[in-house]
Amino acid sequence: MSPKHRLLIVDDEPRIGQVLSLLTGRWGYDTKTAPGGEEALAIMEEFSPELVLTDLKMPGMDGDKLLREVRRLHENTLVIMMTAHATVKNAVESMKAGAFDYIMKPFDNDELRLILERALDHRALLTENKSMRAELGARFKPNNIIGDSQPMRGVLDLIDRVGPTRATVLVTGESGVGKELVARAIHTRSERSDKAFVALNCAALTETLLESELFGHEKGAFTGATRQHHGKFEEADGGTIFLDEIGETNNAFQTKLLRVLQEGVFERVGGNEPIRVDVRVIAATNRNLERQVKDGVFREDLFYRLQVVPIEIPPLRERRDDIAILSAHFVKTACTSNGLPRRELSDGAIEALKNAEWRGNVRELENAIERAVILARGSVIEAEDLWLTRADGTRTGGIPTGVNVPDELAGLPLTDFIDKMTEQHILRALDRSGWKKQEAADALGIDRATLYRIIKRFGISQAEA
């Protein structure tokens, strides 16, 4: 736990405040205490806590009044209520008024720690969403669109038109075309842009875990369910939820999802209390859902509910006019993220990129550019620095002369392979220069500071040579 996480504890019983301060301090929190609501607000002006843990019943300004003031004056601070068993109903009302969660006294230390960590995770998600909204707002200005081909103009026109509505959207296209990016752009265009955007890959979870993640679960619903858990739909209330790989779900899950779309209501796993939410659903798939409907593996009524507005993203091979501008963007991004000086693509490299097959679409293009940025011998990336498969199936570029690829690297994922090859490339340059770092940096076409950053990143030492 980072000591930078700031926590304010508010309780009119000094002993409880002292005990909680010592406990949370051991967990790594920077903690302050206040005996009441008025004192808490005064401390917050300078302390700016990320979380407030407050008693509900206090003389003077009680927890409810403090909650309202925190929500009004410090919108980025999350409030957790402490309450006795007799006032649980009041704590639930506080959650409806904007509290993140509540915990009953006397409480279990592990339970308290879990609630605090969940609150920090939730706060980080909200911060990420705000940052992403700002980034997308800039990226999708008319004069700053990455991709200006006719097919992409059609996609962006649909985003502009559907964004401000409440319509459910089904985004389709091959893997790697950027379906989540389109979903985020729709959210950014909507009136919900100041609320949460929550994304979930349906194919990455088992049936039980998927239901628990989306709908939440009650304490004791299954082995390991030690407390109530709020699902993604509750997190996204008022905002947007993005369900990727929706075609991988089973009929039981599809039935529950259909009810949420029709009625805005669901129950947590193991519960029977209906929970009402206002969530916009954007789903995505690389499968042909119409065919799945005909095959009986996807509900027809859910399909039509999801496909109120369909947006199909064309594969990269059908919008080759975008390749040059996308490649230039990825070169700039890769240079920045890897601490490398500016590089540019030669005319030959751009032509090779335009003629490549791109089965993996934009994601494959981004990976290919990063690999070329790292392994290029100079400031200009040539066609031979690109390891590509042309549309006719032939190869261009390849492993640089003198670079031996061990058999154990052949089956690695691309990013791991790039890291290993980069490490070996740096080691060879250092070895050839006799570990004279300036000479090695010159040979690599980078400055000394960049070389030091790469050495530190990979933990390279002379003992490895």
HEC string for 402-452: CCCCCHHHCCCCHHHHHHHHHHHHHHHHHHHCCCCHHHHHHHHCCCHHHHH
pLDDT at 132: 59
How does pLDDT run across 346-360, given as a tens digit for each residue?
999 999 999 888 888
pLDDT at 36: 93
Q: Kindly tell me if the per-residue pLDDT of 294 is higher than 90.
A: yes
How does pLDDT run across 203-224, given as a tens digit for each residue?
888 887 898 889 988 888 888 7
**0.85 cut: is pTM over it?**
no
Q: Confidence class of residue 87 from pLDDT cuts 50, 70 and 90? A: low
Q: Confidence class of residue 66 from pLDDT cuts 50, 70 and 90? A: very high
Q: Kindly tell me if the per-residue pLDDT of 92 is higher than 50.
A: yes
CB 241 within 8 A of CB 283: no
Q: Which two tokens stand for residue 66?
A: 């403090």
Range of lowest pLDDT (32-41, 121-130, 154-163, 292-301): 121-130
Tell me the mean pLDDT in the region 400-416: 56
Q: Confidence class of residue 402 from pLDDT cuts 50, 70 and 90? A: very low
Residue with the larger pLDDT of the pair 223 and 44: 44
Cβ neighbourhood burial of 331 (10 Å; 0-12, 13-18, 19+):
buried
- Domains belonging to the chain, first-starting first, are 6-120 (3.40.50.2300), 140-314 (3.40.50.300), 404-465 (1.10.10.60)
How does pLDDT run across 241-257, given as a tens digit for each residue?
999 999 999 998 999 99
